[in-house]
Amino acid sequence: MRASPRLAVCPGSFDPLTNGHVDMIVRGARLFEQVIVAVLANAEKQPWFTAEERVALIREVLADRTDTANVSVEAFDGLLADYVRHRRATAVLRGLRTTSEFADEAQMAMMNHHLNPQCETVFLVPLPGVSFISSRLIKDVARMGGSVEGLVPAAVVRALAARRRPSHAVST
């Protein structure tokens, strides 16, 4: 069966969504007719946010924008290559922040293509202003009480503040 034209899946853990992700989603929405932000349900053993919370946060952030009308958000589980086939997408959209990420990302792209030859991976290079942001670093900074303003959308700043565990109390 022929794949739908120009539908891209933008997969990730999104625990939580960052301004780097938003940059990639917005630019993907300009390149493709339709983009599905696909949130991996079992991203980590102990994610800060459940899949439902991550999906809801991304939807809330994108609802405030005028340039993401062709973007939808949903959770997925299992192999990305299977999900891409199920959705009849032709492309997987990933960001490439650093050269050190390239090896892992290229390997993943090759495996996805092996599992589903219809599945092409398109890499976008983030804007320099957001290229140092990662969900892992955001959680580290938030956990230790640092400011993540300007690095994640306002709704995510609020969600992180509500979730933050105190790091100052050292048990003896």
**Residue 124 binds ligand PNS (CB under 6 A):** no
Of the residues 25, 80, 91, 152, which one makes contact with ligand PNS according to CB under 6 A: 80
Contacting residue, 8, 10, 13, 27, with ligand PNS by CB under 6 A? 13
* The one among 10, 11, 27, 29 contacting ligand PNS by CB under 6 A: 11
Of 84, 74, 81, which is closest to residue 40 (Cα–Cα)? 74
Tokens of 61: 């952030």
What is the number of H-type helices and E-type strands within the chain?
6, 5
Which range binds ligand PNS by CB under 6 A, 66-74, 106-114, 138-146, 147-155? 106-114
Quick one: how far is CA 109 from the chain centroid? 16
Could you say whether residue 12 binds ligand PNS (CB under 6 A)? yes
Non-local (6+) Cβ contacts of 83 within 8 A are 9, 11, 38, 76
Q: Which of 13, 27, 94, 135 is catalytic?
A: 135
Size of the site for ligand PNS (CB under 6 A): 10
- Please give the residue ranges that form the binding site for ligand PNS (CB under 6 A): 11-13, 40, 43, 79-80, 108, 111-112
